[in-house]
Amino acid sequence: MFFSRCLGQIGGQTVRQKGRTKITLTEPNSLHFQSTRELRGRNNSPAKSMNLSTRLGGKLPLFFNTRVPLRGVPKLGFVPFLQQKRRFRGGFSKKMGSNVERCEVGVESKLGLVHPATKFYADEAVIALKAGKVIAVPTDTLYGFACDACSSEAVNKIYEIKGRKHTSPLAICVGDVPDIKRFAVTDHLPYGLLDSLLPGPVTVVLGRGESSLLEKSLNPGLDSIGVRVPDSDFIRIIARDAESALALTSANLSGQPSSVSINDFENLWEHCAYVYDGGVLPAGRAGSTVVDLTKPGKYKILRPGSAKEETVAILEKYSLLEEAASR
């Protein structure tokens, strides 16, 4: 404020002074203004007084110019100053409004849909999965569409998104190797084999068995299931927290090249609850190596994928024999 120093008491005393101007309260609701020049040369003359009630009555303007330049205060009336401020704020609001309108076009498709594939976003992914929705996630090989494998509605959504025939089976993903036995038969496998293969870029095909927790609607007519434990933290965290298996397939239209970045399947984002960005995946587009382990002591490579040599070396280390190709 421009009055800086208290000089007296209320009731006829000078109360504040700034530069050449003093203000005196001569009576209730009365303001008395005196300049230093008036005090020096007109000590006996009545001081100019301005009664607030008079101004409120409309006889004088409520806001005035004291004619004395005040340091730091613009030389313009109080009301025009506010009007200018309002004009500025109005223009600012219009600009903000137009900016919001421009941003709203991409908010849902960009900001609200795509998130980094980090543990901080795992909770929302689990909520979406439990609600029967489809999400897109990175794995250690490709980007994939994932949903709750125990939700027939969600599984059907994946088939619809990909334009895939229901006769083409889906694999499942679990968080850890010990979880596999909840959904598939593992008793016939050599001890330690699965721990040597997984986590990694391998899909093991196993029998479902009668004790499998999977819904019958998943891959109907098949008594086997492909199981993955990707060497990818984000999808494993989701699978653990969801306490279920995830139906998993590549994030692309059926018959199209597989996706190694989220931009590869941008045309399908709108069908997902969330898209989780893990950057460009370095494994190429070969996908995981698929190996059939349904028969005791035997293995069969169904798809070479990105880790065939390493997979075969591990299988032979555990004395498994390659099953002869059917003619």
pLDDT, tens digit, 9 for 90 and up, residues 213-264: 888 778 988 999 999 999 999 999 999 999 999 999 999 999 999 999 999 9
Place of tokens 């509605």: 153
Q: Is residue 79 part of a domain?
A: no
Q: Is residue 106 part of a domain?
A: no
- C-alpha 132/C-alpha 148 separation (Å) is 7
Q: Please tell me whether residues 122 and 257 are part of one structural domain.
A: yes
Rounded to an integer, the average pLDDT of 117-121 is: 97
The residues pairing with 248 across neighbouring beta strands, listed in sequence order, are 146, 171
Counted domains in the chain:
2
Q: Is residue 105 part of a domain?
A: no
**Lowest-confidence region among 3-12, 209-218, 269-278:** 3-12
Per-residue model confidence (pLDDT) at position 169: 94
Rounded to an integer, the average pLDDT of 56-84 is: 45
**Residue 107: pLDDT band by 50, 70, 90 thresholds?**
very low
Domain stops at, among 45, 71, 97: 71
Query: What are the strands of the beta sheet with 49-51, ordered from one edge?
Result: 5-6, 14-18, 21-24, 30-35, 49-51
**Lowest-confidence region among 32-41, 176-185, 190-199, 217-226:** 32-41
**Lowest-confidence region among 33-42, 154-163, 204-213, 282-291:** 33-42
pLDDT tops 90 at residue 101? no
Q: Please tell me whether residues 31 and 177 are part of one structural domain.
A: no
Rounded to an integer, the average pLDDT of 14-35 is: 47
**Residue 27: pLDDT band by 50, 70, 90 thresholds?**
very low
**Residue 278: pLDDT band by 50, 70, 90 thresholds?**
very high
pLDDT tops 50 at residue 57? no
Amino acid at 164: R
Q: Please tell me whether residues 61 and 175 are part of one structural domain.
A: no
Q: Please tell me whether residues 185 and 284 are part of one structural domain.
A: yes
Q: Please tell me whether residues 59 and 119 are part of one structural domain.
A: no
- C-alpha 156/C-alpha 170 separation (Å) is 11
Cβ atoms within 10 A of the Cβ of 58, count?
8
Q: Please tell me whether residues 44 and 121 are part of one structural domain.
A: no
Residues 6+ apart with CB under 8 A from 95: none
Q: Please tell me whether residues 24 and 144 are part of one structural domain.
A: no
Greater pLDDT, 108 or 146: 146
For residue 113, give Cα distances in angstroms to 234, 260, 295, 301.
Answer: 17, 18, 43, 37
Q: Is residue 66 part of a domain?
A: yes
Mean of per-residue pLDDT scores for the chain: 77
Per-residue model confidence (pLDDT) at position 44: 46
CATH number at residue 259: 3.90.870.10
pLDDT tops 90 at residue 33? no
Rounded to an integer, the average pLDDT of 123-133 is: 97
Pull the structure tokens for residue 132.
């029967």
Q: Please tell me whether residues 41 and 151 are part of one structural domain.
A: no
Per-residue model confidence (pLDDT) at position 80: 44
| Alpha carbon of residue 129 to chain centroid | 16
**Residue 56: pLDDT band by 50, 70, 90 thresholds?**
very low
Q: Is residue 33 part of a domain?
A: yes
Return phi, psi of residue 298, to 5°: -125, 155
Per-residue model confidence (pLDDT) at position 303: 97
Q: Please tell me whether residues 133 and 201 are part of one structural domain.
A: yes
User: pLDDT, tens digit, for every residue of 131-171?
Assistant: 999 999 999 999 999 999 999 999 999 999 999 998 999 99
Per-residue model confidence (pLDDT) at position 6: 43
Q: Is residue 257 part of a domain?
A: yes
Rounded to an integer, the average pLDDT of 281-304 is: 94
Q: Is residue 258 part of a domain?
A: yes
Q: Please tell me whether residues 132 and 213 are part of one structural domain.
A: yes
Q: Please tell me whether residues 277 and 153 are part of one structural domain.
A: yes
Q: What percent of the chain has pLDDT over 70?
A: 65
Q: Please tell me whether residues 31 and 141 are part of one structural domain.
A: no
Q: Is residue 78 part of a domain?
A: no
- C-alpha 320/C-alpha 19 separation (Å) is 100
Greater pLDDT, 21 or 294: 294
Instruction: Name the residue range of residue 15's domain.
Output: 5-71
Rounded to an integer, the average pLDDT of 72-94 is: 41
